[in-house]
């Protein structure tokens, strides 16, 4: 099955009105391939700015986080309805920094994913193992556990993109080899076959998210189960355009 190449840019807690505008201006001025779906996730205060400044038809805007309630006394949280009201179409859930720093559980992430989907957002669902878990040889067990929390309560995965992020590779400059990524992605897809069915598993795009940059992105080109990237720091730089074009 041909899956559309997908590149996400997670700005994390970086940026100002000026810098976010410059990043988007650079994307607007680039000749981006129409065959690549691109989603950028600026910090929440700049969601409306990003939507307003974006002129590329192949780029959509995403929240970095979302809550599992529509409204209420939840100080500091952002609801799917608010994300949609600003013109964004996507949200991240389960990013490793939410799991490890904020201590979000698999179940809470699954609840947020389900509610976001029901509210009309598409979701980039992040999964991945720590260095200790990788050394213990339980990478796929960890990924399966994180995926299963979602598949237990979400049956339709047509609006979910899975991002595999080896936690040990985020922000460290380390990266799995393209073959490492392919092997893990294949294991993830094989597990999804058992939980959400072969047809849906074949259609789900699985992104690699471990220190991808303009230099190493083309090395993943021929990997059958690497359907794109979730980019961190490099999404703040001009090389983000090179990553978007890396499959050409």
53 is catalytic: no
Which of 95, 104, 129, 185 is an active site residue?
Answer: 95
Other Cβ atoms less than 10 A from the Cβ of 129: the count is 24
Reply yes or no on whether 95 is catalytic: yes
Annotated active-site residue in 53, 97, 129, 165:
165
Residues identified as active-site:
95, 165
């Amino acid at each position: 099955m041909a899956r559309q190449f997908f590149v996400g840019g997670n700005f994390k807690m970086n940026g100002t009105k000026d810098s976010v505008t410059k990043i988007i201006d650079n994307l607007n001025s680039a000749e981006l391939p129409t065959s690549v779906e691109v989603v950028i996730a600026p910090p929440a205060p700049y969601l409306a700015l990003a939507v307003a400044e974006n002129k590329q038809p192949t780029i959509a805007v995403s929240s970095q986080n979302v809550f599992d309630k529509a409204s209420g006394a939840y100080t500091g949280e952002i609801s799917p309805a608010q994300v949609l009201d600003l013109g964004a179409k996507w949200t991240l859930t389960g990013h490793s920094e939410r799991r490890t720093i904020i201590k979000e559980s698999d179940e809470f992430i699954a609840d947020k994913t389900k509610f976001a989907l029901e509210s009309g957002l598409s979701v980039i669902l992040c999964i991945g193992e720590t260095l200790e878990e990788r050394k213990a040889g339980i990478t796929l067990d960890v990924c399966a556990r994180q995926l299963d929390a979602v598949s237990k309560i979400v049956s339709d995965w047509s609006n979910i993109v899975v991002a595999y992020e080896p936690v040990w590779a985020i922000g460290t400059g380390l990266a799995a080899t393209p073959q490492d990524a392919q092997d893990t992605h294949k294991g993830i897809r094989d597990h999804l076959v058992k939980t959400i069915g072969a047809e849906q598993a074949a259609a789900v795009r699985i992104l690699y998210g471990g220190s991808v940059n303009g230099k190493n992105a083309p090395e993943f080109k021929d990997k059958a189960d690497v359907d794109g990237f979730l980019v961190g720091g490099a999404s703040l730089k001009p090389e983000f355009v090179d990553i978007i074009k890396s499959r050409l």
